[in-house]
Structures are given as C-alpha cells and as structure tokens.
Amino acid sequence: MKYYRTGYVARTLRVSPITIFRWIHQGRIKAEMTPAKRWLIPESELNRLMGVEPSEVKKVIIYARVSSSEQKAHLASQARRLEKYADERGYEVVKVYEELASGLNENRRKLESAYRMLKEKKADLILVEFSDRLSRFGFNYLARLAESYDASVEVVNGDAKKDAMQELVEDMISIVTIFSARLYGLRSQKFRQVTRVMKSAVHG
C-alpha cells in the first residue's frame, strides 16, 4: 500500500493543505501519523476522494511441488519464479505452498489446504509453473474443481519441462513399489525382487 503526504494530496485534489488537515480531524479522510508527527494518507483514500474505483487485485496461492528428496533444492527456486511472475502481473500472493510429494499422490496435505482456501474465498486462483506440478494426471478435474469455487488454476508454462521424464520414471517406480507391497508384503522376498528389477531396468 502506498502512502502520500498531505501536500501531495492537497495538490492532487486542488484544495489547500489546511483543508486536508481539517478533513483528517473531522474524520473525512483516513490518515496515519508517523513517529515524526506527520500525516500520511493511504492510496486507497486518495482514490476514494478522486472517485477512482479500486482495481480488482487477484489473490493467489503459489503451489510448488517436486517428487523426490533429491529435487528438494529446486522447490525454493520454483516458488521464487512463481512469486516473480505474480509480482509482474500485480497479483497479491496470500500463501506459498512447497510440497515434496509424487504427482500421483492423491493425499497431498498442502494441495488440500490450497483448495480449502479457494473454497473459503481466501484466494482467487492457484498458480503453478507446469500443469503436472498440480497433478500428474487429472489436471482438468482439479481445474474444474477450482471453477466450482469461482476460482481458477493458472499455469505459467503450458508444456512440461524437459527433465519431467525423470519425475515420471520416479512416479512409475512409486506405483510399482506400492502395488508390490500390497500384493506381496513389504518384507517378502518377492517384493524385494520386483522393486530391484524395476529400479535396475530404469536406471540401467
């Protein structure tokens, strides 16, 4: 929020500084006094006095995600790029979520929290760098869910980045691991054999 001195406001409104001080003391203008005993008037008040409608600023949630702990260092840089994108477009960032989870995981606590904020009208959109950051599959369903809350999902870059294949491979390993564990049990020889073969085939 920008603040202006009384002299600037007086010149902008084409009235005397004495008039501005009188309006402040009468409560017609909201102002804040600095430690140096000077009045500052917020931009919203100046716009109101000028009859300017406040611009509609979008409140956004930034959602950054990586699949594995090896990629954890990329979370912060991903979030920073999204914050820069939001700032360039005049968005108000109300929350930044950085989540370490597979794009196939349906129980992501931070993603659920982001959608809860949309539902409670605390934000207007979720901002993601790539569509697969939100979900590996079923992106359109999540986008429609946001729309049902009168909100939206905005993707900065439509296509997945070139190294996304590595994440997809890791997700596939996760799927095989989960189903093998359910079929054979975590401690079984068969489970260890299946996961060993899968990892060997992937990593060569």
pLDDT band for position 162 (cuts 50, 70, 90):
very low
- If asked whether residues 84 and 137 sit together in one domain, one would say yes
State whether the Cα torsion 130-103-73-127 is positive or negative.
Answer: positive
In 3-state terms, what secondary structure has residue 22?
Answer: helix
pTM, to two decimals: 0.57
Averaged confidence pLDDT in the chain: 82
| CATH number, residue 112 | 3.40.50.1390
Pairwise CA distance, residues 98 & 96, whole Å = 7
Could you tell me if 98 and 182 lie in one domain? no
In a shared domain, residues 71 and 99: yes
Can you tell me the distance from the alpha carbon of 188 to that of 179, in angstroms, rounded to the nearest whole number? 13
Tell me, what's the pLDDT at 167? 58
Residues 89 and 63 in one domain: yes
Q: What was the pLDDT predicted at 195?
A: 59
pLDDT: which is higher, 155 or 190: 155
Question: For the chain, what is the domain count?
Answer: 3
Which of 157, 178, 195 terminates a domain? The answer is: 157
Mind listing the pLDDT tens digit for each residue in 173-196?
565 655 555 666 655 666 566 556
Are β-strands 92-100 and 125-130 bridged in parallel, bridged antiparallel, or unpaired?
Answer: unpaired
pLDDT at 188: 64
Name which of 7-16, 28-37, 74-83, 176-185 the model is least confident about.
Answer: 176-185
> Domain with 14 in it: what CATH number?
1.10.1660.10
Q: Which domain holds residue 17?
A: 3-50
* Residues 151 and 69 grouped into a single domain: yes
Residues 77 and 148 in one domain: yes
Q: What is the residue-wise DSSP string for 119-151? A: HTTS-SEEEEEEHHHH-SS-HHHHHHHHHHTT-
- pLDDT higher than 60, residue 2: yes
The confidence band for 82, taking pLDDT boundaries of 50, 70 and 90, is very high
Lowest model confidence (mean pLDDT) among 29-33, 53-57, 122-126? 53-57
The answer on 142 and 117 residing in a single domain is yes
Percent of the chain with pLDDT over 90: 45
